[in-house]
Structure 1
Amino acid sequence: MNNKAAVADLIQQRKPRHALPTALYSDAEVYRQDLEQLWHKEWIFAGHTFELEKPGQYLTLQIGDYPVVVVRGADGQVRALHNACRHRGSKVCSEHSGKVAKLVCPYHKWTFELDGQLIYAGNMGEDFDKSAHGLKPAHCQVVNSYIYVCVAEQAPDFEKFRAALSPFITPHNLDDCKVAFESNLVEKGNWKLVFENNRECYHCDGTHPELLNSFVENLSVAGVGGDDDPELVAHWDRCEAAGLPSRLVMDEAGQFRMTRIPLAAGAVSYTMNGRPAVARRLDNSGEENIGALLYFNYPSTWNHFLGDHALSFRVLPQGPNETLVTTKWLVPKDAQEGIDYDLETLTRVWLATNDQDRRLVEGTQAGVNSPAYEPGPYSAIAENGVCQFDDWYCATMARKLAE
């Protein structure tokens, strides 16, 4: 049977406003098509430009089948390169991140400039053409410190996303930030379960006591509106008067969304007491309580921006039932640990929340793998965000599989 046709048939079997069938969370061929149709073709969030402040600084990531290195060149430009030596394929950069003068393959010491040009290859003879064996480039775009990479031969349009996102993030001055802390958590669950869990707070009351000191679920978080919520509209009006775009922006396909929401009464940050975790501001609005700016971009990232710090989350699939979730806590570059912020106060809420979500995802994966599993209906009150994600996934995959 045609593998693409088989996966397309599975997608067609999904009932409207229901969870996905077992195979879409577990089957190896579905996972293969997820990689080929989504992860290998879409823009994937890699990291932030301020992590690569100086020439030679790099970070690595694995996008499905593709190891990639993102590096700042001697000319100051940030580039994405396929992290596979043009000799015998060894990874050139094996560490999570680092700083180098040149990119040197550890296997046979082939040496590449920071832009990927091959400059040394020993024992290859006088007739060897170094210019034909540089590291292959991958598509790379930057928007307000966010580095996105696409490993497809032809990348989809990026400008629509840039135009939507940049007005929201620009007031938060991310180019003047640093990573205060990074967490890498492997969840034993399919990447779609990870995103589904993120898209609702139906589970929050019984699972996330730390988060609920500050976070409040809102219709706008689900991407289904909120214009009839007086509290939300008042929050939007107040923030926009201070120069902070706030009203929901969402593309037609539902792949990305940005909006700002109020936090719990009296809370201004994700801390146990709701007070700021950092004695600095990210924005210059002069508005003390700006709530939280939330944005997602399927399939790889969701993000939260507070007045004092921000969090970026990156999702990378590592197998049908395994996903790497990377969280970075972003603070002003001049903020000093122990003086302007305490790391435990800054990270406590989301370290706890991430681990609680990991357990939920892993428990759900075990359940959907059961022969007795039957997809259940989504709540029209509390699970519209999850349904929106599944609708996007099914519609996008159906279209791509038919191409």
Structure 2
Amino acid sequence: MDARSEMLDLIRTRKYGYSLPQPFYTDPDFFKIDMELVWYREWLFVGHNCEIPRPGNYFTVQIGAYPVVIVRDRSGEIRAFHNSCRHRGSRVCTQAKGTSAKLVCPYHQWTYDLDGKLVFARQMADDFDPAAHSLKPVACENVAGYIFICLSNEPADFQAFRDLMEPYFAPHNLSDAKVAHEATIIEQGNWKLVWENNRECYHCAANHPELCKTYPEAPNVTGVSGGADDPEMTAHWEKCEAAGLPARFHMHESGQFRAIRAPLLHNAVSYTMNGQPAVRRNLTDIDTDRIGALMLFNYPSTWNHVLKDHAVTFRVTPISATETAVTTKWLVHKNAVEGVDYDVENLTHVWNHTNDQDRQIVEENARGILSPAYEPGPYSEVHEGGVMQFVEWYAAFMEPRLSGKSSSVHLKEIA
């Protein structure tokens, strides 16, 4: 049985409410299928438009086998290209980020304008056509300060995500922010283990003392129950909405993305050890205090926490069947001054510790799953509804793609 057939069979015969069989977390062939059917087809968060505020600003990312460069062109439009020279394939932009009037391949100096057009190729044949050798474009969308790309030649619809996300995020003015700090950690575990850990707070009390000073462990915050039956949650939504901030739990019918605004604990306003603001200058001009955290996930590449004074964004990037990069960025108002309006250590303390704790959790999870004695175990319906939802999304998403049927996703009802 080949890997595709095995994966399809395991998806169809798996036990609902249980973790996935071992190969989904360990097998290199299963990982290649994940890359082909998920990561090379779906919209992926790659960064923020405030990171490339001026023409010629660019940054690069690596998604599996694909190097990509994201650049702001002369008209101000954000574009993405395959970072592979049309001459002999060398990477054109070799740095993580930079600024350049044109994109020049370091190998033979083939030169591309910021719109990807080839403008210089030295000593080529008389019949050489520069117009046929532009950089290959990658689908790119820019919404509420976030940049997403899709590597597929036939990108999935983006409008549904834009329609859900934009009203929640627009009031936070993230296009007028700046990245105050950035950190990437490599977790020795499959990307699905990273997500499963993220989608529950069942583990928080025992593992995240810093985060638990402000972040509620309630399943209706991390999970998918919605919180409409929680008076504190609905009161918070009403308060935020009266101030013009969309707040209610909203998940797309596919289960792929969700937004919710939830209160923090003990009247905290920010993710700091004392709950006080980490930044003196707020991202948003909304006057209402204690607006809590706006949380969004979009499988497979990002989860986010946006507060009044700053935002914390996360990007998930698979490296191998047992390695995943998690990049965290802390965004503050573009005019906030380090050392005056914020202290980087105070700003990043909670999530730096939380990220390292999560890394250890994922790695121990991954080590245990490697055991020949491992078998899928049951999720807690009370605390791990979010994990169940993620696994159901993944299974419902993969099954039709593996079988060659329609790619529409239908999720089981999760209490």
**Please, what TM-score do these two structures have when normalized by structure 2?**
0.96
State the match for 1:127 in structure 2: 127
Give CA-to-partner distance per residue, 1:331-368, whole Å, 9 cap, x none: 00110000000111000000000010001111111111
Answering whether residue 350 of structure 2 is matched by residue 349 of structure 1, we say yes
State the match for 2:52 in structure 1: 52
Answering whether residue 30 of structure 2 is matched by residue 36 of structure 1, we say no
For 1:193 and 1:3, the matched residues in 2 are separated by 20
Letter of the 1:345 partner, please give it. N
State the match for 2:99 in structure 1: 99
| C-alpha deviation, 1:2, in angstroms | 4.3
| Conserved 8 A contact 1:10-1:24 | no
| C-alpha deviation, 1:28, in angstroms | 1.1
| C-alpha deviation, 1:26, in angstroms | 0.8
State the match for 1:372 in structure 2: 373
| Conserved 8 A contact 2:269-2:290 | yes
Letter of the 1:111 partner, please give it. T
| Conserved 8 A contact 1:316-1:324 | yes
For 2:263 and 2:60, the matched residues in 1 are separated by 35
| Conserved 8 A contact 1:7-1:29 | no
State the match for 1:216 in structure 2: 216
For 1:280 and 1:60, the matched residues in 2 are separated by 30
For 1:6 and 1:105, the matched residues in 2 are separated by 43
State the match for 1:17 in structure 2: 17
For 2:13 and 2:373, the matched residues in 1 are separated by 17
For 2:13 and 2:75, the matched residues in 1 are separated by 52
| Conserved 8 A contact 2:249-2:260 | yes
For 2:20 and 2:179, the matched residues in 1 are separated by 36
Superposition RMSD on alpha carbons, in Å?
A: 1.0
For 1:15 and 1:84, the matched residues in 2 are separated by 43
Give CA-to-partner distance per residue, 1:59-109, whole Å, 9 cap, x none: 111122211100001111100100111111111111111111111111111
For 1:319 and 1:34, the matched residues in 2 are separated by 10
| Conserved 8 A contact 2:201-2:222 | no
SS of the residue aligned with 2:152?
A: coil
| Conserved 8 A contact 1:8-1:398 | yes
Q: Where in structure 2 are the equivalents of 1:55-74 lying within 5 Å?
A: 55-74=55-74
Q: Where in structure 2 are the equivalents of 1:99-248 lying within 5 Å?
A: 99-218=99-218, 219-248=220-249
For 1:222 and 1:253, the matched residues in 2 are separated by 16
Question: Which moves more between the two structures, 123-132 or 200-209?
Answer: 123-132
SS of the residue aligned with 2:266?
A: coil
Give CA-to-partner distance per residue, 1:124-152, whole Å, 9 cap, x none: 22221111111100100110110000010
State the match for 2:278 in structure 1: 277
For 1:371 and 1:122, the matched residues in 2 are separated by 58
SS of the residue aligned with 2:244?
A: coil
Give CA-to-partner distance per residue, 1:293-334, whole Å, 9 cap, x none: 100000000000111100110001011111110100000011
Letter of the 2:94 partner, please give it. S
| C-alpha deviation, 1:280, in angstroms | 1.3
Question: Which moves more between the two structures, 115-124 or 49-58?
Answer: 115-124
Q: Where in structure 2 are the equivalents of 1:284-363 lying within 5 Å?
A: 284-363=285-364
State the match for 2:386 in structure 1: 385
| Conserved 8 A contact 2:55-2:73 | yes
State the match for 1:77 in structure 2: 77
For 1:101 and 1:131, the matched residues in 2 are separated by 19
Structure 1 unaligned spans of 5+: none
Letter of the 1:389 partner, please give it. F
Matched residues, percent identical? 55
| Conserved 8 A contact 1:85-1:91 | yes
SS of the residue aligned with 2:316?
A: strand
| C-alpha deviation, 1:113, in angstroms | 0.7
